Amino acid sequence: MESTYLVCLPFAGAGASFFKEWEKQAPEGLTILPVQLPGREERFIDAPHTDVARAAEEASSWILEQIEGAARVALFGHSLGAVLAYELAHRLSGVDGVELARLFVSGSPGPWSGRESRATGLDDEGFLAQVRRFAGYSHPALEMPEMRELLLPMLRADVEMHESYLPASDKPLSVPITSMRGRDDELVDTAQITQWEQATTAGLTTAEFDGGHMYLADSAAPLLQLMRTALAAEEAR
């Protein structure tokens, strides 16, 4: 398979380090390129985004610097990362030299669906309880008061960014989409992941993996293999 950059967008509260294991496990032909949003890890002092369009614009500029010219690119995002990846796809699909091969979205209803349950505006305890319900798990750092105080502003910004998201364009992509979920996901059901069919003129495929909403935190290998297989099949057409 021709070498492909797999640009990875984080879910709410996560940083680029989540994808470090993916870099180690990536099948031949995939180069993992994690996007680091402001407000976390080495960008901790930078103000976090609360607007998907602004975050996608910044990420687009950074990605083009990393790939340095002509390249085959695929995008992956889970939950918040899915809508970030969708906005990025719109920006990168018109860039000379960038061959946008496929958009992989995970744990997300279609981009026009919006979030029915909200956490923005709740007090700290209510906010964290709602986030736990969304994700089906809680990061251990949020159980430590000193870490919670440091992480809450970034997490609140991410959640606000997701809950206030409206697509910048109602025009579907001309890029194929694969939409995925965990079989036991109680937040996003099978019907919701098929909503992505309206976001592309190039066809939608769907897939399910063992696990709940955060299935990708349990094992990356099946997910990476599916993405590699899909990209190889696309290249063979």
Flag whether 152 is in a domain: no
Task: State the total domains in the chain.
Answer: 1
Q: Could you write out the DSSP letters of every residue in the chain? A: ---EEEEEEPPTT--GGGGHHHHHHPPTTEEEEE---TTSGGGTTSPPP--HHHHHHHHHHHHHHHHTSSEEEEEEEETHHHHHHHHHHHHHTTSTTEEEEEEEEES---TTS--SS--TT--HHHHHHHHHHHHSS--GGGGSHHHHHHHHHHHHHHHHHHHT---S--SPBSS-EEEEEETT-SSS-HHHHGGGGGGBSS-EEEEEESSSTTGGGT-SHHHHHHHHHHHHHHHH-
User: What is the rounded distance in angstroms from the CA atom of residue 27 to the CA atom of residue 22?
Assistant: 9
Angle at 41 between CA 187 and CA 106, to 5 degrees: 25
Domain assignment present for residue 40? The answer is: yes
pTM of this prediction? 0.90
What tokens appear for 218 in the block? 């349990």
Q: What is the pLDDT of residue 79?
A: 92
Strands of the sheet containing 204-209, edge to edge, are 30-34, 4-9, 71-78, 98-106, 177-182, 204-209
Q: What is the pLDDT of residue 170?
A: 87
Position 122 in a domain = no
In a domain, residue 131? The reply is no
Let me know if residue 132 belongs to a domain: no
Give pLDDT, residue 116. 62
Full residue range of the structural domain in which residue 221 is found: 4-113+166-236
Predicted confidence at residue 122, as pLDDT, reads 67
Q: What is the pLDDT of residue 131?
A: 72
* 141 within domain boundaries: no
- Asked whether residue 97 is assigned to any structural domain, the reply reads yes
How far apart are the C-alpha atoms of 9 and 54, rounded to whole Å?
A: 14
The CATH number that applies at residue 226 is: 3.40.50.1820
**pLDDT per residue of the chain (237 residues) written in tens, 0 to 9:** 678 999 999 998 889 999 999 999 999 889 999 999 999 889 999 999 999 999 999 999 999 999 987 799 999 999 999 999 999 999 999 899 999 999 999 999 999 876 666 766 666 777 777 777 766 556 666 666 767 677 788 888 888 888 888 898 889 999 999 999 999 998 899 999 999 999 999 999 999 999 998 899 988 999 999 999 999 987 766
85 lies in a domain? yes
Check residue 154 and give its pLDDT. 85
pLDDT of residue 56: 96
